[in-house]
Each structure stands twice: as C-alpha cells, then as structure tokens.
Amino acid sequence: MENSKSFTAAKGGLTKEKFLNNFAFFGLLLVLVLFEILTRGKLLGQRNLMNIFNNFFSIALCAMMYSFVMALGELDLSVGAIVGFSAAMAAFASEISIYLILPVALITGLLIGLINGFATAYLRVESFIGTLAVSFVFRGLTTYFLNGSVGIPIAMRAFDKDWVKIIALLLVLTISYLLYERCAFGKHCRAVGASHEAARQSGVNVQKTRMAAFALVGLVCGLVGFFTLVRACTASSKTGNSFEFDVLLAVLFGGMPLSGGWPVKFRAAVIGSIAMAALKSGMSLIGIDGLTQQVVEGVILIAVVVLSFDRRNAGVIK
C-alpha cells in the first residue's frame, strides 16, 4: 500500500498509474455491477452468494499460495493435476482408514509440489514447461490408478460444511498473508522475482526459496483436493480438471503481473478469486452458453495480461 501511495503521488501520468495499480479493483467492481444488473439482482442474492463462495473457496485457497510462485515470476500449471491426484490418493487411503484422508491428501500435494520445486530450482527447467510436464504425468497416473472413479464413505460429507470451509479459508488466508507480506520468505520470493541474481547476492537462498514456494502451492492443492473429495465423495480422473486455468486467471485478473517481483500484491489473489467466482456465477446466471464463456475468459485473460504488464521491467528493450 505504501508503495502505491508514493507512486500515485507522482504527478506525471497520475490517473493512469492509479488506474493500473487498482485495475483489479475496478475489474471486480465492473463484474459485480454489470452482472448484478444483468441478473436483476440475483448475483448478490443471499442464495447465490453461497454459490459464489463455493466457487471462490477452492480458487482462493490455491490463489493465495500461488502468490509466492507469481512473485517468483514463475507459473505452476500443475495445480489441477495435483488436486486430482491428491484426491485420488486420499480416496484410496480411505479404504484403509478415513482418518488417513486429510493427511494423505496433504502429503501427496506437498510431494508433487516438491517435485515441481526441485525441477524449477535445481534442474533449472522453465517452470511452465516443468509444471506442465508434471501435470501430464500426474493426470496420467490419476487416470491409470483410478480406472474411472473411486468413492469414499458418505459420512465424510460432514466436512463439506460452510463453517469448516470458512475456518480453513481463514487459516490459509492468515498464514499466507503473514508469510507473504510480513515474513522474510515472502520478501525473498519477490526479491528473487525482481532479480534472482541481486537476491542471491543479497544472501537469499534462491533455490530453497523457489522450492518452498512450489511446495506451498502443492500443499494447499492437497487441501483443495481434500475438500473436492469430501464434496463429491468421489475422486475421478476429471477431478481438478482445468483448475490451473481458473487459478491462473484469478491471479492475473487480480492484477498480478507475470513478470513477478515487488509489483505482485497479495490482495490480488483475493480480489481476483472473488472476481473470477462472481464472473463465472454471473455468466451462468444470465445463461451464457459454454462456448461464449470460454471466449469471454480468453478475452479477459489477454486484457489483464496486457494491463498488468510492467513496462519498467522491460526497460532494456529499446
């Protein structure tokens, strides 16, 4: 906040700077007002708010931890696959004991996150290629192991309660906010994203930082996997399908630049997730068909990437 304040104080290009700093906020507002009008008030009706919350819940859980990866200037395209695979493993674990469901989901997520981190930090694979490969591997394994779908005891639906979700959300929100905005780790992530060499030369352990960021995303995907599993009581090869794009679109919509570094703000994860959930719900409410929804999402993606592109980072190119 302080940064944006000092920037908006600049006289040159006042409105533009201000707009760019807050465009996520405007975007959210636009989505809410537009659909509130188009749906004649149904969007923010009490019942639909619950739907928006359900959509928001898993996207936001993941998006908040995704901030670290975005700060690094990296991408993680495997989050959907992690959700699917950890849900599958947890479903198998439920056959041994239902108490294993949560731990197994979390550990599976964490392990895949560590693989992503290892590939990016130590093997120096470009993150979007590396995580895409990991995504293929675990999507394949999910399909192979599941052979369709596996159910868990219906009693587990007890966890699909709003208060459980709100507690989980608040917990992840608090932890990730503190880690990102207040702890050394979050600052290290942004430093690495701003200039990994400068970060290294300032004593930041670049490799460990990268590893940890991907591990955190993996862990939280395990949690998302758990909640997805208890919601449907089924793990299928489609679980977590295209989740990576929902999350990516949310953080980009929230205004996180792909270039990483200090302009990556934590609030973008939250604002973006709300906007995405509201957008999806709004489009569905006014009955836009699937094809048009894809077009709309694609156009938004391009628009936000262009808007959030930080020209200062491209200063070398003349």
- Of residues 257 through 316, those in contact with another protein by CB under 8 A are 261-263, 281, 284-285, 287, 289-291, 293-294, 310, 312-313, 315-316
Structure tokens belonging to residue 222: 């395990």
Residues numbered 188 to 247 that lie near another protein (CB under 8 A) are 188, 190-191, 194-195, 197-205, 228-229, 231-239, 241-242
Report if residue 108 touches another protein, rule: CB under 8 A: no
- In the block, residue with structure tokens 């009490």: 46
Name the residue nearer to another protein (CB basis): 77 or 115.
77
Exactly one of 17, 42, 159, 286 binds another protein (CB under 8 A); that residue is 42
Name the residue nearer to another protein (CB basis): 115 or 165.
165
Report if residue 6 touches another protein, rule: CB under 8 A: yes
Report if residue 99 touches another protein, rule: CB under 8 A: no
Exactly one of 123, 147, 163, 306 binds another protein (CB under 8 A); that residue is 147
**DSSP per-residue letters across 235-246:** EETTTTTTHHHH
Residues numbered 124 to 143 that lie near another protein (CB under 8 A) are 143
Is there a contact between 296 and 34 (Cβ–Cβ < 8 Å)?
Answer: no
**DSSP per-residue letters across 80-118:** HHHHHHHHHHHHHHTTT-GGGHHHHHHHHHHHHHHHHHH
Name the residue nearer to another protein (CB basis): 115 or 254.
254
Residue 251's contacts (CB-CB under 8 Å, 6 or more residues apart) are: 63, 66, 67, 70, 268, 269, 272
Name the residue nearer to another protein (CB basis): 306 or 317.
317
Angle at the Cα of 282 from the Cα atoms of 248 and 301, rounded to 5 degrees = 30
Exactly one of 96, 136, 157, 309 binds another protein (CB under 8 A); that residue is 157
Report if residue 16 touches another protein, rule: CB under 8 A: no
Report if residue 248 touches another protein, rule: CB under 8 A: no
Q: How far apart are CA 135 and CA 38, in angstroms?
A: 37
Q: How far apart are CA 262 and CA 270, in angstroms?
A: 17
With CB under 8 A, what is the number of residues at the site for another protein? 91
